[in-house]
Amino acid sequence: MADRYLHLTGTAPGRFLTRRLGLPQPAPLRRWTLETPHLDGPLLHVTAGAPAVTGVAEALRASGLTVTERADRPAAIVLDATGVATAAGLGDVHAALHPVVRSLAPGGRIVVLGTVPSPDDHHQAAAQQALEGFVRSLGKEIGRGSTAQLVRIPGGASAHAAGSTLRFLLSPRSAYVSGQVIELTSTAPDSGAAPDPVADPAAPLTGRTALVTGAARGIGAAVASVLARDGARVIALDVPGAREELERTADRLGATALPLDITAPDAADRIAAAAPDGLGVLVHNAGITRDRRLANMPADRWASVIEVNLDSVLRTTDELLKAGTITHGGRIVATASIAGIAGNTGQTNYAASKAGIIGLVRSLGPRAAADHGVTVNAVAPGFIETKMTAAVPLFIREAGRRMNSLSQGGLPVDVAEAVAWFAQPDSTAVNGQVLRVCGQSLLGA
């Protein structure tokens, strides 16, 4: 369903009226297209104190933007605050960004580079943790469709490990991601090796097979489409009842349709049979809702949501890892939700299942990397414009759209772009992360 309010505020009378009434002023978001793959303008690189990591300049140049130390209207600003280790050093953060933040172009990006708070130095830990509050607040105030993020690079590591992360955050692909903290791992899954090289940046998943569950429509179909765009051979999975729609999606993408109930006891075996050469990417997107307040929720409504959204994910992941179906260097990406972070009335079952996904990712990520050379991450969508949200009552739908820093709903492609970033061969340092794709929702952390 079209966002008529967003359209209204794009007109002169609409801007005048909504400003007079003090209503939100959403800015149209610029998303990735083949014709506009990069932000329009230079990248301003500034520092706070003495940098504590190497290779930042090289990593920034790999973003595709022109890097400069002076710019009147930058499309992006990157602040290297990895060397900030004291409360007094936070003054350098203010000094670096205060003079330039107003010059950021509409739809711009601010990325602060920090490092992991030290368990042994509480002054350094305080200063680095302060950057999180700073970035989350900055994301809520810069407006005009701009975003702000914090990327933590482990001490002693090179910024080279942040290459795929910076390319994503400093591009139109991250249009609906803001106020997020991404903590990179200190070693790649294969015992410290450098990130896997990408032979073709325009098709980084060439040669990899990706399986997407819940792929017939909505977010799952968008994920399958973006992974196919990036060169993957896609297997699109959904329940047999959605076969017709699933086959249309698969035909459109040149993908393979796999009608299968992911809760079936033999689901992992049938997935393995459909991918005889193994999977390079596994995306757990299938999910259901059976909303009702707990006092009115029968056991079957509870059990069905836990079974589809969580238990089937745990079971098939374990079996596919054990069988070696997910190949070394593979990527597992699961779909959580901000409901699993903030909770939601009438969704105790759904929120529990999605919080469980977050627990899975944080626990399995390090072990899957060590034992199988596989990373495990999750996306946590907020209000995304789908057929499901179009059926939500008007006032609740409008509240969902406006209660975030970008004052609008996201699109399925926004979630898909985040999944594709996790799936990148050179995203080896991105592991155990839960990325909210919610426009920095005012709900939750």
The 3-state secondary structure of the chain, one letter per residue: CCCHHHHHHCCHHHHHHHHHCCCCCCCCCCCCCCCCCCCCCCEEEEECCCCCCECHHHHHHCCCCCEECCCCCCCEEEEECCCCCCCCCHHHHHHHHCCCHHHCCCCCEEEEEECCCCCCCHHHHHHHHHHHHHHHHHHHHCCCCCEEEEEECCCCCEHHHHHHHHHHHCCHHHCCCCCEEEECCCCCCCCCCCCCCCCCCCCCCCCCEEEEECCCCHHHHHHHHHHHHCCCEEEEEECHHHHHHHHHHHHHHCCEEEECCCCCCCHHHHHHHHCCCCEEEEEECCCCCCCCCHHHCCHHHHHHHHHHHHHHHHHHHHHHHHHCCEEEEEEEEEECCCHHHHCCCCCHHHHHHHHHHHHHHHHHHHHHHHHHCCEEEEEEECCECCHHHHCCCHHHHHHHHHCECCCCCECHHHHHHHHHHHHCCCCCCCCCCEEEECCCECCCC
Catalytic residues: 350
Q: Is the dihedral of CA 342, 344, 345, 347 positive or negative?
A: negative
Task: Yes or no: say if 123 and 154 are a contact pair by the CB < 8 Å rule.
Answer: no
Question: Would you say residue 281 lies in a domain?
Answer: yes
Task: CATH number of the domain at 321, please.
Answer: 3.40.50.720
> CB 7: neighbour CB atoms within 10 A?
11
Q: At what angle do helices 348-372 and 312-323 cross, to 10 degrees?
A: 10
Local confidence band at 8 (pLDDT 50, 70, 90 cut-offs): confident
> CB 368: neighbour CB atoms within 10 A?
22
As a whole-number percent, the residues of the chain with pLDDT over 90 amount to 84
For the cut 70, the answer to whether the pLDDT of residue 191 exceeds it is no
Average pLDDT score, the chain: 94
Whether 170 and 273 map to the same domain: the answer is no
Question: Would you say residue 8 lies in a domain?
Answer: no
**Alpha carbons 377 and 335: distance in angstroms, whole number:** 9
For the cut 60, the answer to whether the pLDDT of residue 138 exceeds it is yes
**R_g of the chain, CA atoms, integer Å:** 21
Whether 265 and 411 map to the same domain: the answer is yes
Whether 367 and 405 map to the same domain: the answer is yes
Q: Mean pLDDT throughout 234-258?
A: 98
Paired strand residues for 441: 404
Predicted pLDDT at 242: 97
pLDDT tens sequence across 279-328: 999 999 999 999 999 999 999 999 999 999 999 999 999 999 999 999 99
Question: Would you say residue 244 lies in a domain?
Answer: yes
**Alpha carbons 326 and 174: distance in angstroms, whole number:** 27
Predicted pLDDT at 193: 44
Local confidence band at 7 (pLDDT 50, 70, 90 cut-offs): confident
Q: How far is CA 376 from CA 185, 233, 258, 281, 293, in A?
A: 12, 20, 23, 10, 32
pTM of the predicted protein model: 0.95
Residue 185: both structure tokens together: 């791992």
Question: Would you say residue 442 lies in a domain?
Answer: no
Q: Mean pLDDT throughout 215-240?
A: 98
Whether 139 and 255 map to the same domain: the answer is no
Local confidence band at 382 (pLDDT 50, 70, 90 cut-offs): very high
Predicted pLDDT at 146: 98
Whether 351 and 219 map to the same domain: the answer is yes
Question: Would you say residue 5 lies in a domain?
Answer: no
Residue 236: both structure tokens together: 């699109």
Whether 225 and 369 map to the same domain: the answer is yes
Local confidence band at 23 (pLDDT 50, 70, 90 cut-offs): confident
Q: Mean pLDDT throughout 210-231?
A: 98
Predicted pLDDT at 187: 56
Whether 164 and 300 map to the same domain: the answer is no
Strands 109-114 and 76-80: parallel
Residue 371: both structure tokens together: 């034992």
For the cut 80, the answer to whether the pLDDT of residue 390 exceeds it is no
Q: Mean pLDDT throughout 14-32?
A: 90
pLDDT tens sequence across 402-438: 999 999 999 999 999 999 999 999 999 999 999 999 9
Q: Mean pLDDT throughout 344-351?
A: 95
Whether 169 and 46 map to the same domain: the answer is yes
Task: Yes or no: say if 202 and 210 are a contact pair by the CB < 8 Å rule.
Answer: no
For the cut 80, the answer to whether the pLDDT of residue 93 exceeds it is yes
Distance of CA 298 to the CA centre of its chain: 34
Question: Would you say residue 203 lies in a domain?
Answer: no
Whether 228 and 127 map to the same domain: the answer is no
Write down which residue in 167, 183, 199 finishes a domain: 183
Whether 287 and 354 map to the same domain: the answer is yes
Q: Mean pLDDT throughout 368-394?
A: 91
Residue 258: both structure tokens together: 């796999």
Question: Would you say residue 17 lies in a domain?
Answer: no
Tell me how many domains the chain contains.
2
pLDDT tens sequence across 41-79: 999 999 998 998 999 999 999 899 999 999 999 999 999
For the cut 50, the answer to whether the pLDDT of residue 189 exceeds it is no
Predicted pLDDT at 75: 98
Strands of the 326-335 sheet, one edge to the other: 256-259, 233-238, 209-213, 279-284, 326-335, 375-381, 434-437
Residue 17: both structure tokens together: 């009226």
Whether 66 and 135 map to the same domain: the answer is yes
Predicted pLDDT at 192: 41
Expressed as residue numbers, the domain containing 36 is 22-183
Whether 213 and 264 map to the same domain: the answer is yes
Question: Would you say residue 200 lies in a domain?
Answer: no
